[in-house]
Each structure stands twice: as C-alpha cells, then as structure tokens.
Amino acid sequence: MKVRDVIRILDAEVLVDGNLDTEVKTACGSDMMSDVLAFVKDQGMLLTGLCNPQVIRTAEMMDMHCVVFVRGKDIDPSIVELARSRDIIVLQTRHRMFSACGLLYMGGLRGE
C-alpha cells in the first residue's frame, strides 16, 4: 500500500508531507523505541502513541519513511520540525493503536 492509502484508511492528518506514493510494504506498532530498535527489520512505517523526538530519531536510524502518531495527542512542533529535516512523513490519526493497526491490516498491510 502507499502512504496515501494509509492516510485514507486512518483518516489521518498530514503533519509532514512527502512523496505520498511511497510504498509501505510492512509496518510496526510500538510505544517502546527499545523494541523498535531491536526487532524491526525492514518495516518502513512506525505507528506509535509515544510523542517525543526520539520517535523520529528511531525512525531515522531504522531508515523508516513514515511515522503515524495514534490517538490524536498534541504533537510538539519541534518533533514535526525534526521529521521534516529528516524527510520523514508524519501522519496523525484519531484512532487508537489497536484500531489503527487493525484497519491497516484489513487494508492488506502486514507486520513482516
């Protein structure tokens, strides 16, 4: 699926724009960056309820293209700026983690 499909499925707001035709083959969902760093292989997208700059740094180190913040919390502008400077697309959805992952899974996205 493409990033634009993710936006449609999650009814997401785009906080940092980019190439919305970027292909997302697999994704992972976690609030623990430790686990993301340890277990993620080639997942191009991270869904998380954690809102701090280390989310973007973790995505950067893992070569991920897109971060989705779930539950519609307020995202600090500094996080958005950091993502923009690293060419990482940032989306935000009102859905909670479980629903967001479920919706994407039903849409055909897998974990690995």
Give the interface with another protein as residue ranges (CB under 8 A).
31-35, 37-38, 48, 50, 52-55, 57-58, 60-63, 78, 86
The nearer residue to another protein, 11 or 42, going by C-beta atoms, is 42
Q: Is 12 exposed, middle or buried (0-12, 13-18, 19+ CB in 10 A)?
A: buried
Positive or negative, the Cα torsion across 46, 97, 19, 111? positive
Cβ of residue 38: shortest distance to another protein, in angstroms?
4
The nearer residue to another protein, 39 or 107, going by C-beta atoms, is 39
The nearer residue to another protein, 11 or 23, going by C-beta atoms, is 23
Give me the phi and psi of 73, to 5 degrees please. Answer: -70, 165
Cβ of residue 112: shortest distance to another protein, in angstroms?
17
48 near 71, Cβ under 8 Å? no
Cβ of residue 61: shortest distance to another protein, in angstroms?
4
Give me the phi and psi of 79, to 5 degrees please. Answer: -70, -40
